[in-house]
Amino acid sequence: MSASPASASHPATPAVAVFERSPGYWRTVGRRLVRDKVAIGAGIVVCALLLMAVLGSLIAPQDPYASSMLNRLKPIGTEGYLLGTDELGRDMLSRLIVGARLSLFMGITPVVCAFVLGSLIGIVAGYAGGLLNSAIMRTVDVFYAFPSVLLAIALSGALGAGITNSLISLTVVFIPPIARVAESVTTQIRSRDYVEAARASGAGAFTIVRVHVLGNVLGPIFVYATSLIAVSMILASGLSFLGLGVKPPEPEWGLMLNTLRTAIYTQPAIAALPGVMIFVTSIAFNLLSDALRSAMEIKS
DSSP 55-91: HHHHH-SS-TT---GGGTTPPTTBTTBTT-B-TTS-B
Residue 110 located in a structural domain: yes
Task: Determine contact, residues 147/9, Cβ cutoff 8 Å.
Answer: yes
Q: Are 125 and 133 in contact (CB under 8 A)?
A: yes
- Domain presence at residue 6: no
Q: Report how many domains make up the chain.
A: 1
| Residue 24: half-sphere exposure toward Cβ, Cα within 13 Å | 5
Residue 4 counted as domain residue? no
Q: Residue 14: inside a domain, yes or no?
A: no
Answer yes or no: is 194 within a domain: yes
Q: Is residue 7 part of a domain?
A: no
Inter-axis angle of helices 268-296 and 214-241, nearest 10? 170
- Tens-digit pLDDT profile for residues 7-47: 444 444 554 544 455 557 778 888 888 888 999 999 999 99
**Structural domain contains residue 164:** yes
CA–CA dist 151, 147 (Å, integer):
6
Planar angle of CA 184, 185, 186, nearest 5 degrees: 95
**Separation CA 172–CA 166 (nearest Å):** 10
The beta strand positions in the chain, using DSSP E, are none
| Under-50 pLDDT residues of the chain | 1-12, 15, 17-19, 300
The SS3 of residue 85 is strand
> What distance in Å separates the CA atoms of residue 114 and residue 234, rounded to the nearest whole number?
16
pLDDT reported for residue 44: 95
Q: Can you give the residue range of the structural domain that contains 256?
A: 31-296
pLDDT digits (tens, 9 = 90+) for 157-198: 899 888 999 999 999 999 999 999 999 999 888 888 888 787
In a domain, 20, yes or no: no
Q: How far is CA 34 from CA 21, 28, 49, 266, in A?
A: 19, 10, 20, 45
- Residue 21, pLDDT score: 55
Q: The CATH number of the domain where 173 resides is what?
A: 1.10.3720.10
